[in-house]
Structure 1
Amino acid sequence: MGGGERTFFGHPRGLATLFGTEMWERFSWYGLRAILATFMAASPAHQGLGLSQETAQAVVGVYGALIYLVALPGGWIADRILGARRSVFWGGFVIMLGHISMAIPAGSAFFVWLGLLLIITGTGLLKPNISVMVGRLYPEADDGRRDAGFSLFYLGINLGAFFAPLVVGRLAEGDRWHLGFGAAAVGMALGLAQYLWGGRGLRGIGERPGMPLSGGERRRAGLVTAFAVVVTAGALGVWAATGTLTIDRLTLVVTVVILVVPVAYFAYIMFGGHDLTEDERIRMKAYIWLFVAAAVFWMIYDLAPSKLLFFAQDHTDLSLFGFSINQATTQSFNPLFIMIFVPVFAALWVRLGTRVSTPQKFGFALVMVGLSFVVMAVAAALAGAGRVSVWWLVLVYLIQVFGELSLSPVGLSVTTKLAPEAFKGQMLGVWFIAVSVGDAVGGQTGRLNRVLSEPMYYLVLAAMAIVAGVALFMFTRKLRVMMAEHHEPVMR
């Protein structure tokens, strides 16, 4: 790097542009997430949609699931049509339009559903491709600085996630939901402004698609897309005409579709005749177990903006250090703990080295997220006699973060390691499908409250996670052999 070139904490100047863009995009995303469920469950008299908490939980789950699922086509569009740079810009622009749509104080729910659809579409374009651009700021062999750059980028994500609930939640108080949605729109607008203003520092990265479509391929892609849109719209139209289409049923159908995606994809890899070696097949079998474990983890972890948010609203004394807070503020606990403990866990994994395997890290994460819901079961039981301290939620989020930092950072790494050679690029998107499956299924778990008490609801989910975690510990040796992850002696 030339001596006269401006840098960002010793990194390429373009990182500052991408850091700011992502920070504001995450501000808009987490700001909306902090009030979405409570807005949907609020009565029309309080300017909400009047949905049941169960249905609102299902909608938030499907919404989060689709955000991660559309990262796959979003990456494809950047690689084959727009290039990463334009994909990030247009993705951010569509996200901003989505928040503006939700901020329109109309009596109809149309603008809410339109807004969510736009945000899902825009995030699919922006989220996967901005990370790709961060990686391309560095020379191929500069792994150390690239890792440090991604750590700074990750800090930007969590800064946006921390401040968003505080700002948006405060603005949305007193049934001013659309003011909160408007703040999310302003956040994305600021991110776009920074992206355009700092564009020169990106040095042409992502200007063109890596493998542009030929004319014939463009026509085929256009026809397939048009066919899919027409079929989907037609199916929904027919369903609506029968008078049986409800939001609740639609979320269930979308969840089933999302569950089919990884099943079909893994079947395609394993049985599609891609000249996989025997070792590659064995490693993929091990990965499927890790994929299921990750989906169980996210099923519980991503109930924060729905089930736990409702608990904060209905059963918690919202007072912290003598200061009154609102339920949205509880969504800031998680990113705060992440920022505190990321360096601690990073140092821990380096120190432990190969003595702790990937299955053990996943198992620990599942046990932690399960224990967090054991704590929630206790809090829910105590809440039967009146509101409980918000410190219960602080403890829950602290335990969950210990789990996330044991699973999330190694997820992408193990995905690239176990992917067959023919699927190296695609498999990164498969990791996000695990989050998508977890979010969708987690949204549907609200149905359990029809037959279970609140404490039992949390205990059932806790038991699922803890049993899955213990199973990973029990089969660690076998999984390590399948993964070719051998224990190496540590030099002292």
Structure 2
Amino acid sequence: MSDTADEPGRAAPGPRAAVAGGRTLLGHPLGLYTLFTTELWERFSYYGMRAILFYFLTDTVVNGGLGLDDASGAALVAVYGSAVYLVTVVGGWAADRVIGARRSVLWGGVVIAAGHVSLALPSAGTAYLGIVLVALGTGLLKPNVSSMVGELYSRDDPRRDSAFSIFYMGINIGSFTAPFLVQAAREVGGYHAGFSVAAVGMALALVAFVLGRRALHGAGDAVPNPLTPADRPQVVRTGLLVLLAVVAAGVVAWLVGAGGGGPLDVVIDALSYLALAAPVVMFLVMFRSPKVTAPERSRLTAYVPLFVAAALFWMIFEQASSTLSQYARDHTDLDVLGVTISPVLYQSVNPAAIILLAPVFAWLWVRLGDRPSTAVKFALGLALAASSFLFLAGASAVAGEGRSPWWVLVVVYVVQTLGELCLSPVGLAATTLLAPRAFRGQAMALWFLAPAAGQAVTAQLITVTEGVSRTAFFGGIGVVSLAVAGVMLALAPWVTRHVREGAESEADVAARS
């Protein structure tokens, strides 16, 4: 899945000591299975809700939807995904400085459950409230549950990678099964019944987490870097700056729309501007900081093109719940061997492909050793994502005013999954290794800003290209992204050279190239 926070959690920053103890199951502490079950059901609720969100937003009020036009609905889904990743920055900070990872996961889960319950109520007001609550809760929970897995093991524990593989499997089991069950409930009782299934999933996640607390043996209880009285003035200043940035983004969004857009348009634009500005500001702060040494600045320079490639990749990949959902509903022949399927079920293709292909890629990277380099893997991942959109553009052109065969979107999702397996597993590792030492704790936040920025671009593209043909939309994105992938491939030796120039040791060179 596109859970960039989860599999790379094996490289979660922070020198936290392992807290595992007590009984084991299949060689792993019982706490792993507590977190496995929690994340399985949390991802079930999240992807179940996301699978039907676009259809709910754009369906008619008579049919239980909110009646938005397709462009507004797709843009809202994209900016919702962007907001989730923006809030993870706050969620990670809250866990590290205020309440600890365990409480962040617990309260995040409570907020998510409240959001799903709000969505389950037949009211437009509670629906928008539910979307906001799910985004806030996910941002609080998402970056911290995987870091708790890391706390169960010492850094040199040989079971560590195996543990994250088990944990990541739970994510994909939850996200694979969710569209089937949520769609079944939707067919029986409408959209709100589908959201009710997501609410039940989140409730099960909370039950598993609370009942399994003892098995965690204190993992996530400690606050790694608690705030001190001396920190409070800086926190207040930072909070005011963030509030000012939010207000400024809203004002700019309103002015750009010349007041002609509605409140929803202003929200979409404001969140998009925030998501695009955040990584730029973070990079500028790092480059200008006196705490960053010349070798570290060399590594940071090498990271910039990797970040751009990652943002473009997620821009394409995360359209699964927006533009590709629309294509599945309106432009795909859903008859499969005489059986008509729901367009919602396409959301299960990616996790199914991950379950099947992840072991193959794990074996492949071991066989290839240190090659290809990180930069080449990023270029390959982006090229595959771009190719999926070029393929879809061609299929759309062939279909014309008709519908593409059902297998077209299956191919698109599988090709994107191949790209995900090239880029996502190495993304956070590259981030934590290339970030300056003074900003090592903020490396997770920087990686989260790549999908946030990518989905912000998607929201803006959907808005400004309204009325453009499907072929031109997918083809244009595919051509530009493929060109950037080519540039990334050409820059690969330059990126590797800057990494080597900034490496402190031969071990760093081997790890970072």
Q: Normalising TM by the smaller chain, what interval?
A: over 0.9
2:206 to 171, 192, 203: 192
Corresponding position: 1:145 with 2:159: yes
Cα distance in 2 for partners of 1:237, 1:367 equals 37
Cα distance in 2 for partners of 1:321, 1:208 equals 55
State the 1:220 CA deviation: 6.5
2:191 to 170, 177, 194: 177
Listed as ranges, the matches of 1:243-262 within 5 Å are 245-262=262-279
Partner deviation per Cα, 1:402-437 (whole Å, 9 max, x = no partner) = 100000000011111111111111112211100110
State the 1:10 CA deviation: 1.5
State the 1:221 CA deviation: 4.1
| Equivalent pair of 2:246/2:274 in contact (CA under 8 Å) | no
Letter in 1 for 2:469: S
SS in 1 for 2:66: coil
The answer to which of 394-403 and 470-479 deviates more is: 470-479
Letter in 2 for 1:467: A
Corresponding position: 1:410 with 2:405: no
Letter in 2 for 1:181: F
The answer to which of 201-210 and 87-96 deviates more is: 201-210
State the 1:116 CA deviation: 1.3
The answer to which of 94-103 and 370-379 deviates more is: 370-379
Corresponding position: 1:280 with 2:319: no
- Report the counterpart of residue 134 of structure 1 in structure 2: 149
Partner deviation per Cα, 1:58-77 (whole Å, 9 max, x = no partner) = 11111101111111111111
Could you tell me which runs of 5 or more consecutive residues in structure 1 were left unpaired when the two chains were aligned.
none
Letter in 2 for 1:117: V
Cα distance in 1 for partners of 2:298, 2:235 equals 34
Letter in 2 for 1:127: K
SS in 2 for 1:456: helix
State the 1:255 CA deviation: 0.6
Cα distance in 2 for partners of 1:313, 1:326 equals 8
2:180 to 162, 166, 190: 166
CA RMSD of aligned residues (A): 2.6
Letter in 1 for 2:461: T
Corresponding position: 1:94 with 2:108: no
Percent identity over the alignment? Answer: 44
Distance 1:318 1:121, change over 3 A: same
Corresponding position: 1:325 with 2:337: no
Distance 1:434 1:126, change over 3 A: same
- Report the counterpart of residue 42 of structure 1 in structure 2: 59
Cα distance in 1 for partners of 2:427, 2:320 equals 21
Cα distance in 2 for partners of 1:235, 1:342 equals 40
Distance 1:222 1:119, change over 3 A: farther
| Equivalent pair of 2:249/2:271 in contact (CA under 8 Å) | no
State the 1:233 CA deviation: 7.5
| Equivalent pair of 1:290/1:359 in contact (CA under 8 Å) | yes
Distance 1:336 1:445, change over 3 A: same
Cα distance in 2 for partners of 1:430, 1:230 equals 21
Partner deviation per Cα, 1:78-112 (whole Å, 9 max, x = no partner) = 11111111111111011000010111112xx2111
- Report the counterpart of residue 110 of structure 1 in structure 2: 125
Cα distance in 2 for partners of 1:389, 1:9 equals 44
State the 1:483 CA deviation: 1.5
State the 1:218 CA deviation: 5.2
| Equivalent pair of 1:359/1:476 in contact (CA under 8 Å) | yes
- Report the counterpart of residue 399 of structure 2 in structure 1: 383
2:93 to 76, 91, 115: 76
| Equivalent pair of 1:354/1:488 in contact (CA under 8 Å) | no
| Equivalent pair of 1:46/1:175 in contact (CA under 8 Å) | no
Partner deviation per Cα, 1:139-162 (whole Å, 9 max, x = no partner) = 2321x3111101111001111110
Letter in 1 for 2:208: Q
Letter in 2 for 1:149: A
Corresponding position: 1:363 with 2:379: yes
TM superposition score normalised by structure 2: 0.89
The answer to which of 221-230 and 125-134 deviates more is: 221-230
Distance 1:473 1:237, change over 3 A: closer
Corresponding position: 1:483 with 2:508: no
1:53 to 67, 70, 74: 70
Corresponding position: 1:314 with 2:359: no
Partner deviation per Cα, 1:333-388 (whole Å, 9 max, x = no partner) = 01100110001011111111123111111111111111101111122123324222
- Report the counterpart of residue 292 of structure 1 in structure 2: 308
SS in 1 for 2:65: coil
- Report the counterpart of residue 32 of structure 2 in structure 1: 15
TM superposition score normalised by structure 1: 0.92
Cα distance in 1 for partners of 2:432, 2:251 equals 41
State the 1:37 CA deviation: 0.7
State the 1:477 CA deviation: 1.2
Cα distance in 1 for partners of 2:293, 2:239 equals 34
Letter in 1 for 2:65: G
Letter in 1 for 2:281: A
State the 1:182 CA deviation: 0.8
Cα distance in 1 for partners of 2:81, 2:233 equals 31
Cα distance in 1 for partners of 2:241, 2:159 equals 45
State the 1:232 CA deviation: 5.3
